[in-house]
Structure 1
Amino acid sequence: MEIRAATEDDVEAAAAIAAVVAEEGTIGAQPPVDVAARAAGLRTLIDGDGRGGVWVLRDGERVVGVTTALERISGVLSIGMMLLPDARGRGGGRGLLDAVLEHARTTGAHKVDLEVWPDNGRAIALYAGAGFTVEGLRDRHYRRHDGSLRSSLIMARRVVDSS
C-alpha cells in the first residue's frame, strides 16, 4: 500500500469512499452522500494555499482510504479519515495519520484535532495509539436524518510543545 498527497486523478475515487463508509454510520456524513460536492471540496483543499491537504491510501491502482486536514483555527489542523472496509486492519489508517502529523510538523501547525463517535472503538484506539487524547465531548450534538442525536468525542494531539 502507498500513501501520498492526493492529486486531481484521486479526487473522484476518494470522494466515493464517503458514500461507502456513510452507509456504516461510523462517520458524520449520512447517505445519500453528494459525491460531486465532496469531490469539489477535496479539489479546494488540494489547490489551497493554507496548511490543509488531502492524502490518499492506494492499494495498487485503487484508492482505498483518504484523510483530509483543514485549518479552521490558526495552527490547528482538523482531520477526517475514511478507509474502505477491505482496507482496514493493515496499517493504512496509521500511515495516513502519520502523513498528516508529519505535514502538520513541517507546516508549523501546533496541534491536530478530530471528532469521532464514542462507539467507534477501532478509530479511538488508532488515534490513542498515535498520541491523541480526549479533550471533550459534544453531547447529543449532531442530529441525524432519523431525528436521533449523536455525541462525538473531541480528540487532539499537540504536534510541537509550545506550552
Structure 2
Amino acid sequence: SGDTKATPSTEVADLPHLRSLCADLSKIINGPAPQKVNEKLDNIEKSLDGTLTRLDEFQAFVSSMKANRKEAEEKLIPQLLSRVEHVENVFAQIDKLEAFVKLIEDSASEVENRVRQVDNAFGESKLMKNFFGSLMRANAGKEDNKSAFDWKKDVVVRHKDYIE
C-alpha cells in the first residue's frame, strides 16, 4: 500500500535538516529582529507616555473651563445683566434728554421768530425813535444816562448759530 512509515534510519537522515531549521529559528528569535521590536516597543511606550501627559493636560484644561463656566454662571453673568439694565436706563434717560433738548430748541426757535417779527414791526418805526429820542432829550443834562438811551437795532443772536 501507499503508506510510508518513518523508520529510524529516515529520522536520523532528517536530523541535519532539523538542526538547520532550529538554528534558523534561533537566529530569528535571538537575532537583530528582537532588538528592532524592542526599539519599536520603546518608541511606542514613549509615545504613549507623551499622549498620557497631553491627556492629563487636556483634563486639567477641561476642569479649569468647567470652573470658569461655573464662576461665569454664578458671578459674571448676573453682573453683566445688571450692567445691561443700568445701561438701558442710561440710554432711556439720554433719549428723554434729547427729546427735552429738541423741545427747548423748538421753543427757542419760536421765541426767536417772535422777536424777529416784533423787531421787524417796531424796530425801525418812527414811534420807537421818537420815544427813545424824547427820553434822551429829557435826560440831556445828564451825560451818564445818555448812553443808556442810545437806541440801536440789536443784532439778534440765534441759538442755532451756536448749537447744532
Q: Please identify which structure carries the higher helix content.
A: 2
TM-score, with length taken from structure 1: 0.16
Q: Please identify which structure carries the higher strand content.
A: 1
TM-score, with length taken from structure 2: 0.16
